[in-house]
Amino acid sequence: MLNEEKPLNFIEEIIEEDLLAGKHDGRVLTRFPPEPNGYLHIGHAKSICLNFGLGERFNGKTNLRFDDTNPATEDTEYVDSIKQDIQWLGFKWAEECYTSDYFDTLYNFAEDLISKELAYVDDSTAEEIAAAKGTPTTPGTPTPHRSRSVEENLTLFREMRAGKYKDGEKVLRAKIDLANPNMHLRDPLLYRIKHAHHHRTADKWCIYPMYDFAHGQSDSIENITHSICTLEFIPHRPLYDWCIEKLEIFPSKQYEFARLNMTYTVMSKRKLLQLVNEGFVESWNDPRMPTISGLRRRGYTPSSIRTFCDKIGVQKRENMIDVSLLEFCIREDLNKTALRRMAVLDPVKLIITNYPEGQVEQLEGENNPEEENGGGTRTIPFSRELWIERDDFMEEAPKKFFRLGPGLAVRLKHAYIVKCHDFIKDATGKVTEIHCEYFPDSKSGEDTSGIKVKGTIHWVSCAHAKEATIKLYDRLFNDENPAAAEDFKSSINPESLKTIETAYIEPDLASAQPETGYQFIRLGYFCLDSKSSSDKLIFNRTVTLRDSWAKTVNKG
């Protein structure tokens, strides 16, 4: 029955039991139900991996359902991005569904409830309804409209649909139990009037079903067997079951799991939208955003996100996951796959005074030492003048500085050993040139010089290097749990983006493609930004080579 041998999470255990009991003839159908009012984030990835994972594991299927009952905030831009993100993560849905396609059916369901004396039209204002609902410890009181006849309710509800009333003038409510300890059962709203243009049904409707009257019924219409949602919907479950029971429709069942919370970020579309609208980030796919599209642009791979979701598992209790686990997953992934290249972010010139002027050597560098045969090689031009990192040179180097300084020698990666004999400073004291000599018999791979050096540094040839803009990202918030603060934006990290306008990169990188991971040797993992162009190359740092952040925090 199972596709793979992995321990079962608690939802898988439930499904396993259902299958053993012969429920639904062994059929498993789940759904992922985003509201198209924003881009998907890493929390949604957890839900996607869970729902589609169940489909895959139990030879079942998963529908993609757009929960589009709120015309004011929804848009086709979001629909498109959601589809793209799910596909990118590597999942295939069985059916593409829209709650709005069920509006006629849902409307008929509502009339059915009215006919069964289980729903009524209420003219009370939102405030009046709230006041009459009571409190969890005191029962509510009926509004004057609760005793309307079936005929009157049908007439009024049809008039609501026909557009006779203004927004908020009337609502349709279920007639359940005004004393129920579960407030969701105290005659919940089923339909509201909203004269708004819908991105799919246009102006056909001016009444829209509430979540609680749309979600379970949509599950049922699609014959969903296991409807998985997050913990905050536990109190809605009795209403979910009530509607299905009273309407006598397919008995979908709801199960709840803990949503993903992650440190140093926010995970609600409403808050993410604010970050975009108020210009704290460039867009929904800003590489600092926890959105799938932001992570993609940042250089995260689908497999790193799926591995992360696998590692965090599925729990019944709220918890907070450390973002460094996500970073760990991409590091592990890119270490295996990223092409190794050289780039110099803070350049200073190194001149090899005994290297012939005008001479160029094409050296070989392996693409990835983690792969068999180094993953093939690329050629790297080498010449007399090179860019190296400014912090690989110290005028007065301490003892354990195994890089360059007067009298010190290092290996240039894939090339020769060089020894510094001089340097030049400008009027401000800034080093502008480092002069070295090289040892012609110390070439990497064929070194017969017998010289031993402890350090190896990266470089690019001045005459051959390409220029690139480099974007270094840090966490978007300084606070571990920004959403807990009164104003989540108060802990935005003003240094979450550092731009290096001109860095020098290996010429081979001019043909880099977005979504291909590179390790810039000694610097981190990088990828071409999707906004890069051939006249302005832009690279994003996906993640550093090591978890440098944990260290600074500990030090502080």
Residues of this chain that interact with ligand ATP (CB under 6 A) are 33-35, 43-44, 46-47, 67, 229-230, 259-260, 267-270
Burial of 110 (C-beta count, 10 Å sphere; 0-12/13-18/19+): buried
Task: For residue 171, give the nearest of 196, 153, 198 by alpha carbon.
Answer: 153
Nearer to ligand ATP by Cβ, of 73 and 182: the residue is: 73
61, 192, 253, 259: which is the annotated catalytic residue?
259
When the beta carbons of 85 and 529 are compared against ligand ATP, the nearer one is: 85
489 is catalytic: no
**Residue 41 Cβ vs Mg ion, minimum distance, rounded to whole Å:** 12
In the complex, least distance from residue 314 CB atom to ligand ATP, rounded to whole angstroms = 10
Cα–Cα dist 168/111, whole Å: 20
Cβ proximity to Mg ion: between 51 and 519 the closer is: 51
Residues 300 and 542 sit within 8 Å (Cβ to Cβ): yes
**Residue 33, binding choice from ligand ATP, Mg ion, none, Cβ under 5 to 8 Å by partner class:** ligand ATP
In whole angstroms, how close is the CB of 492 to Mg ion at the nearest point? 24
Residue 474 has, within 13 A of its CA and on its CB side, a CA count of: 15
Q: Residue 133 or residue 198: which is nearer to ligand ATP going by CB?
A: 198
Residue among 33 and 287 whose Cβ is closer to ligand ATP = 33
For ligand ATP, which is the closer residue by CB, 254 or 367? Answer: 254
The tokens describing 277, both together, are 């609208």
Residue given tokens 């990118």 in the structure block: 88
- Other Cβ atoms less than 10 A from the Cβ of 317: the count is 7
Residue 261 tokens, joined: 């919370």
Least distance between ligand ATP and beta carbon 83 (Å):
13
35 vs 392 by CB, closer to Mg ion: 35
What residue 268 binds from Mg ion, ligand ATP, none (CB within 5 to 8 A, per partner kind)?
Answer: ligand ATP
Q: For ligand ATP, give the closer residue by CB, 62 or 519.
A: 62
Alpha-carbon distance 552 to 554, whole Å? Answer: 5
- In sequence order, the β-bridge partners of residue 257 are 230
Residues making contact with Mg ion (CB under 5 A)? 35
CA separation for the pair 202, 135 (Å, rounded): 39
Structure-token match 């199960």, residue found: 255
Question: Least distance to ligand ATP from the beta carbon of 402, Å?
Answer: 45
> Choosing among Mg ion, ligand ATP, none, which partner's interface includes residue 34 (Cβ < 5 to 8 Å by kind)?
ligand ATP
Q: Is 327 a catalytic residue?
A: no
Q: Please, what is the minimum distance in Å from the beta carbon of residue 208 to ligand ATP?
A: 15
Query: Distance of alpha carbon 120 from its chain centroid, rounded?
Result: 42
Residue 35 CB, shortest distance to Mg ion, in Å, is 5
- Report the alpha-carbon distance of residue 207 to residue 191 in Å, rounded: 6
Q: Which residues pair with 256 in a beta bridge?
A: 229
Nearest distance from residue 394's CB to ligand ATP, in Å? 47
When the beta carbons of 35 and 74 are compared against Mg ion, the nearer one is 35
Please tell me which residue in 12, 35, 389, 506 is annotated as part of the active site: 35
Q: Which does 414 bind (CB under 5 to 8 A by kind): ligand ATP, Mg ion, none?
A: none
For residue 542, give every residue at least 6 positions away whose Cβ sits within 8 Å of its Cβ, in sequence order, or none: 298, 299, 300, 330, 334, 517, 524, 525, 526, 527
Catalytic one among 61, 253, 269, 443? 269
Q: Tell me whether residue 35 is one of the annotated catalytic residues.
A: yes
Phi, then psi, of 388 in degrees rounded to 5: -130, 170
Burial environment of residue 51 by CB neighbours within 10 A (0 to 12, 13 to 18, 19 or more): buried
Residue 298: CB minimum distance to ligand ATP, A? 19
Smallest distance, ligand ATP to C-beta of residue 225, A: 16
Q: Report d(CA 403, CA 382) in Å as an integer.
A: 19
Residue nearer to ligand ATP on the CB measure, 115 or 319? 319
- Pick from 183, 336, 326: which is nearest to 263 by CA? 326
Which of the choices Mg ion, ligand ATP, none does residue 327 contact, using the CB cut-off of 5 to 8 A by kind? none
Q: Which residues pair with 168 in a beta bridge?
A: none
Q: Which position's Cβ is nearest ligand ATP?
A: 43
Q: Where are the alpha helices (DSSP H) in 279-384?
A: 292-298, 302-312, 323-337
Nearest alpha carbon to residue 457 among 521, 546, 379:
521
Q: In the sheet where 171-174 sits, what is the strand order?
A: 119-122, 171-174, 189-193, 207-209
Q: What share of the chain is helix, strand, coil (3-state, %, to 5)?
A: 35, 25, 40
Beta strands in 342-478 (DSSP E): 343-344, 347-352, 361-366, 377-382, 385-389, 409-412, 417-425, 431-438, 456-457, 460-461, 466-473
| Catalytic residue set | 35, 259, 269
